Amino acid sequence: MDQEERLTAVDNIVTQFNTYEDFLDSQITSVDLYYLEDEGLARQLVELGYRGTGEVVKREDFEARKAAIEIARLAERTQKKTLTSAGKDLQDNFLKALAVREEDNHNGKVSTVIFIRDKNSHGQEVSGYIDYAHRLKIEDFEVYFSGKRRLLPKPTDMSFYNWDSHIAVWNSTPNYQVIADNLQGLLFKYKRDRKILNVDPKVSPGDNSTRIPIQTDLYIQAVIFDHISRRKT
């Protein structure tokens, strides 16, 4: 039996039995108990491989795989819980687009940059580019998906511009390096694969990237850029 087949066999045993003792008991026959007259001794012999009706599995292997499977199960459950868009009755195209991308941005399969132009609570027109995956990590999007608040660019986002006060701010994020002083205009370099995202609507957004204008009633203008990293991890 090769290593992969052995791991599969151990996994099957681990998922079938709650404890290692339950597994040992399943390997003990009535004949073993008749002659040995000691359940504890019978278990020890199965553990050592001298008795038993099936695969020999060491206690440390059983417990290690049991723990690994439990960690994976909890991680999957936690991931599902973190999807704040789940179960929401979303009507607007913009929120629907964010919901579709939420899980992939959480796990790094896709990196989404959101462009928004609209008026803030003071009636000032603002615009900016938002690193969706980064904002998901530092902010609770429940308020946006529930409609309690509107997602708007902040001075702490990748870019922010107030059209009334003419304040312009750029910030690199854990995912992107901002390249503002460039003849091609504003560029974002994705740190994972070092590919350039060009947000100029007149040119291609770049390798493995797409530009999708969103028809929405929530904003004057909304555009979503999706980048898929090809770098192996």
Q: What are the tens digits of pLDDT across the range 213-233?
A: 999 999 999 999 999 987 654
Given a cut of 70, is residue 36 above it in pLDDT?
A: no
Q: What is the pLDDT of residue 65?
A: 74
Averaged confidence pLDDT in the chain: 83
Half-sphere exposure of 185 (CA within 13 A, CB side): 8
Q: Which residue has the higher pLDDT, 72 or 144?
A: 144
Confidence of residue 46 (pLDDT cuts 50, 70, 90): low
Per-residue pLDDT tens digits for 179-203: 988 777 899 999 999 999 999 999 9
What order do you get walking across the sheet with 196-198 strand by strand?
Answer: 176-179, 187-190, 196-198
Looking at residue 185, its amino acid is G
β-pairing, 209-213 with 221-227?
antiparallel
pTM of the model: 0.66
Is residue 39 helix, strand or coil? helix
Q: Which residue has the higher pLDDT, 165 or 83?
A: 165
Three-class SS of 110-155:
CEEEEEEEEECCCCCEEEEEEEHHHHHHHCCCHHHHCCCCCCCCCC
Q: What is the pLDDT of residue 157?
A: 97
Looking at residue 127, its amino acid is S
pLDDT (average), residues 200-215: 96
Per-residue pLDDT tens digits for 99-157: 999 999 999 999 999 999 999 999 999 999 999 999 999 999 999 999 999 999 999 99
Q: Which residue has the higher pLDDT, 69 or 9?
A: 69
Q: What is the pLDDT of residue 233?
A: 44
Q: Write out the DSSP string of 44-99.
A: HHHHHTSS-SS----HHHHHHHHHHHHHHHHHHHHHHHT-TTTT----SHHHHHHH
Q: Which residue has the higher pLDDT, 66 or 49?
A: 66
CA distance 51 to 26: 11
Given a cut of 60, is residue 31 above it in pLDDT?
A: no
Q: What percent of the chain has pLDDT over 70?
A: 73
Given a cut of 70, is residue 84 above it in pLDDT?
A: yes
CA angle 73, 76, 79 (to 5 degrees): 150
CA distance 180 to 226: 20
Q: For residue 112, list its beta bridge partners.
A: 226
Residue of 96, 103, 68 whose CA lies nearest to 82: 103
Distances (CA, A) of 63 to 19, 57, 70, 76: 8, 10, 11, 20
Residue of 156, 142, 155, 157 whose CA lies nearest to 98: 142
Which residues neighbour 129 within 8 Å (Cβ) at sequence distance 6 or greater?
113, 114, 115, 153, 157, 158, 159, 186, 188, 199
Looking at residue 38, its amino acid is D
